[in-house]
Amino acid sequence: MHEIAIGIDLGGTQVRAALVNERGEVLARAEERTDAMAGPERVLAQIKMLADGLIAAAGQASVVGIGVSTPGPIDTFSGIARDIPTLAGFVDFPLKKELQKRFAYPVSLENDGIAAAIGEWQFGAGQGLENLVYATVSTGLGGGVIADGRVLRGRKGMAGHIGHMSVMPDGALCPCGNRGCFEAYASGTAFTQRARERAFACTETLLGAEGAPVDSRSVFSAARRGDILANRLIDEEAELLGRGFTSLLHIFSPQVIVMGGGLSHEFERLHPGIQGYIARWAMPAFKDVPVVHAALGQNSGLIGAAALAFLAAGTQDHMQPISIT
């Protein structure tokens, strides 16, 4: 009888769940829109329903546990969410304990950036590496780090909030409350915002013509049709990412930076600009480090969460050793 784990990716927009085997393959999945304003009880009920559906679908397989990726920062050692900005009511909330109450299987909890880093490390673009930084560029900008062959957790398991390094003094307002964060400039949200402002101020662009919505998809689409503003916006985004990634190279010295998140759908278009910035501006010893596309796409966190459940269960035959500190 083979073993499987449930991975849950709790996000501010979607709750996603998957049945994952020991090779990191998704056997079944389910998702629904997060009832983000309804409070913890309701969100926990959503998780419970999705997971139970998958457990029922597991058939003969043995469920080893449930891994949950959550928006942070959350103290994964105590399991208590101090304040999750994207989910109402998760203030000083004992998330891990409340999750465990609802399941007969062991529950593991991880900050979303770290969960996704574990997914890419175990089953994705970082397999076999000792040092990697995972960056997700999406609504927000988050990440997680594998260093010297181990998950970097830090105090309360809250390391890896790479979106909240300052890249501009007194700069653009960030959802975290500070100004000038990497996230406030280089996230998908910031990219779209910039595109709207610039399209509004520009007459010679396809963007926003005849009231069409301006979003990241429309920018890349216009760029492919030769739109100058759209191409410039993308080049600027690549430069912003390149600058932030260069900082991360110097700070962590990874073997690779793995880029995921919504904006990584257009990785091929962004990559030359990102890698070009690094080649030009990183210190000599760091210039050759590649930035690569997340191999698990939108499932890095989901599969990483399941990997955590396998690890907690000690069933890690197919996995690299992860030490849970």
Residue 128 or 211: which CB sits closer to a second copy? 128
Please state the closest distance from residue 250 (CB atom) to a second copy, in A.
Answer: 4
Please state the closest distance from residue 30 (CB atom) to a second copy, in A.
Answer: 31
Can you tell me whether residue 144 is helix, strand or coil?
Answer: strand
Residue 169, interface with a second copy (CB under 8 A)? yes
Residue 158, interface with a second copy (CB under 8 A)? yes
Residue 99 or 181: which CB sits closer to a second copy? 181
Residue 73, interface with a second copy (CB under 8 A)? yes
Name the H helices within the chain. Answer: 40-57, 95-102, 112-123, 182-186, 188-200, 216-224, 228-252, 267-281, 300-313
Measure the CA–CA gap between 131 and 257, rounded to whole angstroms.
9
Ordered DSSP codes for 175-206:
TTS-BSBHHHHHSHHHHHHHHHHHHHT-SS-S
Taking CA atoms, 69 is separated from 4, 122, 272, 291, in Å, by: 17, 15, 31, 24
Please state the closest distance from residue 286 (CB atom) to a second copy, in A.
Answer: 7
Can you tell me whether residue 226 is helix, strand or coil?
Answer: coil
Measure the CA–CA gap between 2 and 63, rounded to whole angstroms.
9
Please state the closest distance from residue 75 (CB atom) to a second copy, in A.
Answer: 7
Of residues 279-298, which lie at the interface with a second copy (CB under 8 A)?
A: 281-286, 289
Residue 111 or 218: which CB sits closer to a second copy? 111
Q: Candidates 3-11, 53-61, 220-228, 251-259 — which segment interacts with a second copy by CB under 8 A?
A: 251-259
Residue 160, interface with a second copy (CB under 8 A)? yes
Residue 154, interface with a second copy (CB under 8 A)? yes
- On whether the CB atoms of residues 174 and 189 are closer than 8 A, the answer is no
Q: Candidates 21-29, 32-40, 144-152, 218-226 — which segment interacts with a second copy by CB under 8 A?
A: 144-152
Q: What is the C-alpha R_g of the chain?
A: 20
Residue 156, interface with a second copy (CB under 8 A)? yes
Q: Which of 78, 100, 127, 255 touches a second copy (CB under 8 A)?
A: 255
Q: Length of the chain in residues, anyone?
A: 325
Tokens for 142, please give them. Answer: 């988050």
Residue 135 or 309: which CB sits closer to a second copy? 135
Residue 296 has phi, psi (to 5 degrees) of: -95, 5
Please state the closest distance from residue 167 (CB atom) to a second copy, in A.
Answer: 6
Binding region for a second copy (CB under 8 A):
73, 75, 82-83, 130-131, 147-150, 152-162, 164-169, 176-179, 243-244, 246-248, 250-255, 281-286, 289, 325
